[in-house]
């Protein structure tokens, strides 16, 4: 049976790309889409920024036809501001609107947005209702287990948000207090999935970084799909590898050096195309280590990549990596 969000058909067991600040921009989303991700989201966008028409917030609304289905994720602490931001985001014509109730970082959570709303479920419910009523699009939510170990309230959150109209819920298996430390706990996610009151799709998120883990947790925790974040950075092939295993029971070999270079190059070119040469080159620096992780003796090339400022020079180093390491493999 296909998993659906509104009229969006995501297939039997969708793989989703988690929204990640400063990571899941259009260039990164492109290489994930090329490797088989089923559903993606923009970086999270400040509702205040949208209403003020801040350039950075407005730029994050950029979506492209090849990315569909795609959701625009918004966050904020004020209900009326979130309602207005929903109207603005809906005009960018995404497939859905997603609300971030999970971001744990201080400058979001300590301003009453993101995961901080887990401490005020009444306000969270009212905010969600306002967002649902402000758009014709399906509304989904991403959240965490709770604020800390003493307040894991996502079971109640799931019921109440479903009651006001959300059409899917993604749950990161950590509390806000954990940030990204320790291990994600998916047992509460399974409890929510087993709740007879819950009719909407439940997606699990947190620590899925291999084919084996995806396959085991799919069965053990009974989720409707898996959302992957950090493990896809510099390794968009994770979606292709998991999908192939689900369909055939076989493991795909990892990407060759040539594939790593080609995808890194595509990411770089799109980054420059979307952000301009200076910013595009600068912001790619955070990705090089991940693209070439695990390759012995690649460090000197990586050091060059993060120091160069001319596009032609960076392409030259990528050529060198390709030639050098393909020779070694051969």
The DSSP bridge partners found for residue 146 are none
pLDDT tens digits for 39-48? 999 999 999 9
**103-106-107 Cα angle (round to 5):** 90
CATH value at residue 269: 1.10.1200
Is-catalytic flag, 103?
yes
Least trusted range by pLDDT, from 97-106, 219-228, 235-244: 97-106
User: Catalytic pick from 32, 103, 110, 264?
Assistant: 103
Same domain as 149, residue 40: yes
Buried b / exposed e over 148-179, threshold 16 CB at 10 Å, is eeeebbbbebbebbbebebbbbbbbbbbbbbe
**CA-closest candidate to residue 87, choices 74, 68, 103:** 74
Same domain as 128, residue 267: no
Q: Helix/strand/coil (H, E, C) string of 7-33?
A: CEECCCCCEEECCCCCCCCHHHHHHHH
**Region label for 243, one of left (φ > 0), alpha (ψ between -120 and 50) or beta (otherwise):** alpha
Q: How far apart are CA 244 and CA 15, in angstroms?
A: 12
Same domain as 220, residue 140: yes
The predicted pLDDT at position 110 comes to 67
Same domain as 115, residue 178: yes
Same domain as 303, residue 226: no
pLDDT tens digits for 112-155? 888 889 999 999 999 999 999 999 999 999 999 998 888 899 99
CATH value at residue 215: 3.20.20.70
pLDDT tens digits for 66-116? 999 999 999 999 999 999 999 999 999 999 999 999 887 777 776 788 888
Which of 223, 248, 273 finishes a domain? Answer: 248
Same domain as 150, residue 50: yes
The pTM of this model reads 0.94
Same domain as 143, residue 25: yes
- Please count the structural domains in the chain: 2
Same domain as 106, residue 232: yes
Same domain as 189, residue 289: no
Which of 230, 248, 266 finishes a domain? Answer: 248
Same domain as 262, residue 196: no
Same domain as 72, residue 173: yes
Same domain as 242, residue 277: no
Give me the phi and psi of 232, to 5 degrees please.
-90, -10
Find the domain containing 244 and state its range.
Answer: 4-248
């Amino acid at each position: 049976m296909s998993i659906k969000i509104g009229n969006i058909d995501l297939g039997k067991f969708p793989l989703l790309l988690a929204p990640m600040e400063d990571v899941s921009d259009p260039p990164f989303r492109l290489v994930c889409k090329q490797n088989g991700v089923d559903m993606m989201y923009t970086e999270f966008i400040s509702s205040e920024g949208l209403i003020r028409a801040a350039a950075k917030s407005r730029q994050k609304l950029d979506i492209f036809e090849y990315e569909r289905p795609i959701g625009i994720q918004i966050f904020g602490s004020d209900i009326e501001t979130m309602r207005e931001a929903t109207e603005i985001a809906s005009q960018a014509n995404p497939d859905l609107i997603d609300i971030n109730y999970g971001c744990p970082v201080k400058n979001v959570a300590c301003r009453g947005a993101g995961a901080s709303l887990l401490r005020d479920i009444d306000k969270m419910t009212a905010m969600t209702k306002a967002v649902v009523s402000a758009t014709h699009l399906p509304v989904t939510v991403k959240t965490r287990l709770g604020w800390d170990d003493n307040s894991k309230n996502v079971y109640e959150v799931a019921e109440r948000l479903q009651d006001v109209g959300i059409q899917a819920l993604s749950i990161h298996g950590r509390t806000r207090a954990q940030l990204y430390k320790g291990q994600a706990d998916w047992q509460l996610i399974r409890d929510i999935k087993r709740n007879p009151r819950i009719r909407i799709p439940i997606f699990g998120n947190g620590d899925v970084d291999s084919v084996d883990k995806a396959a085991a947790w799919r069965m053990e925790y009974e989720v409707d799909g898996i959302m992957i974040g950090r493990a896809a950075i510099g390794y968009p092939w994770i979606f292709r590898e998991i999908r192939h295993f689900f369909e055939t029971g076989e493991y795909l070999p990892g990407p060759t050096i040539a594939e790593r270079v080609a995808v890194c190059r595509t990411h770089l070119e799109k980054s420059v195309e979307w952000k301009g040469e200076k910013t595009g080159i600068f912001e790619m620096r955070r990705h090089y280590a991940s693209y070439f992780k695990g390759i012995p003796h690649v460090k000197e090339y990586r050091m060059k990549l993060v120091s160069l400022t001319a596009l032609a020079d960076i392409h030259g180093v990528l050529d060198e990596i390709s030639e050098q390491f393909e020779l070694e493999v051969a």
